[in-house]
Amino acid sequence: MQLFELSFVAAVLLAATPILYAALAGALSAQAGVFNIALEGQMLWGAFAAVAGSYYTGSAWGGVLVALLSTALFAVILAVGSARWKADPIIIAIGTNLLALGLTGFLMRVLFDVSGSFSPRGLQGLPKMAFLADVPVIGPIFAGQTVLVPLAFVVIVAAGLWLKRTPAGLRLRGVGEHPDAATALGVNVASYQTWTTIVGGALCGVAGAQLALGNVTVFTENMTAGRGWIAVAAVMLVAGRPFWLPVACLGFGAAEALGFRLQGIGAPQQLTDAAPYAITLVVLVLTRIGFARRNRSRTLIDS
């Protein structure tokens, strides 16, 4: 019985980790005052780049590096477009999300001559922490996971502390809170927003790498399947505060893992697939029940 419960914890962590990395990217952007809804496309690009990188370099960590760097590069479109050129970040994000979907499918056909999914023989996935297998409690949870899973929590705590406790973090929050005041204090707003968005791209690259080389070892067309949007919802849920992200993302991870369990006992896949979205929306609504009284019609008027 205990084994069953621990394996469920492991499944929750596995489902939550890619969303955690992407949501951290979104939270940092939110703190810098950029509404970043490009997470879905960036994560998808990261997943493709990770698999392609692992295939060409023969090493899973090579794949992670390729994903991290190329997704950061992909995020430059949004970063420079919205922060420096003041273009609408929502329209750019809609465009880059479509671009990522098309480009990954296109490149899969052109480079590897397959469509649908790509998992060549000998494709290196990320190593699991099998050395933990004999440790009680920790073993059953983490032995089957990649090191990127615990690292996600470390990165989130580090980012949260950086935002809270360092001068640069304070300036970043100031940029998001009141750009004019930040400018008056000599902070380069555009530069902070640009680099935050690019770092967010790198995080989404890691999210994609964990998805394609950690959770599974394959790239499938549109394999992110809305996880980037759940990450956006998670950012809204915690109002961009990184320390709360694990709570939100583990909740979504639990919804997904529970869906798999229910499928195992015969629940139709269509309904369990919809569960994370429905639960996300319900949770968003529940956390904002007092919203109307506090800020009547604010989103529609002040946005």
**Beta bridge mates, 28:** none
* Shortest separation between residue 79's beta carbon and another protein, angstroms: 12
Q: What is the dihedral of CA 127, 132, 133, 136, to 10 degrees?
A: -150
Please tell me the distance from the alpha carbon of residue 290 to that of residue 303, in angstroms, as a whole number: 19
Of the ranges 44-52, 64-72, 191-199, 292-300, which one interacts with another protein (CB under 8 A)?
292-300
Number of other CB atoms surrounding residue 302 within 10 Å: 7
> Between residue 177 and residue 236, which ones bind another protein under the rule CB under 8 A?
226, 229, 232-233, 236
Please tell me the distance from the alpha carbon of residue 293 to that of residue 303, in angstroms, as a whole number: 17
> Between residue 96 and residue 125, which ones bind another protein under the rule CB under 8 A?
96-103, 105-107, 109-110, 115
Q: Which of 36, 146, 193, 280 binds another protein (CB under 8 A)?
A: 280
How many residues lie near another protein (CB under 8 A)? 56
Does the protein bind another protein through residue 266 (CB under 8 A)? Answer: no
> Between residue 57 and residue 86, which ones bind another protein under the rule CB under 8 A?
77, 81, 85-86
Considering the complex, state which of residue 58 and residue 102 has its C-beta at the smaller distance from another protein.
102
The candidate with the shortest Cα–Cα distance to 222, out of 59, 61, 13, 43, is: 43
Considering the complex, state which of residue 185 and residue 292 has its C-beta at the smaller distance from another protein.
292
Does the protein bind another protein through residue 129 (CB under 8 A)? Answer: no
Of the ranges 49-57, 92-100, 140-148, 173-181, which one interacts with another protein (CB under 8 A)?
92-100
Does the protein bind another protein through residue 154 (CB under 8 A)? Answer: no
Does the protein bind another protein through residue 239 (CB under 8 A)? Answer: no
Does the protein bind another protein through residue 91 (CB under 8 A)? Answer: yes
Taking phi over 0 as left and psi of -120 to 50 as alpha, with beta for the rest, 225 belongs to: left
Q: Which residues sit at the interface with another protein, rule CB under 8 A?
A: 35, 37, 77, 81, 85-92, 94-103, 105-107, 109-110, 115, 226, 229, 232-233, 236, 268, 270-271, 273-274, 277-278, 280-281, 284-285, 288-289, 291-292, 295, 297-303
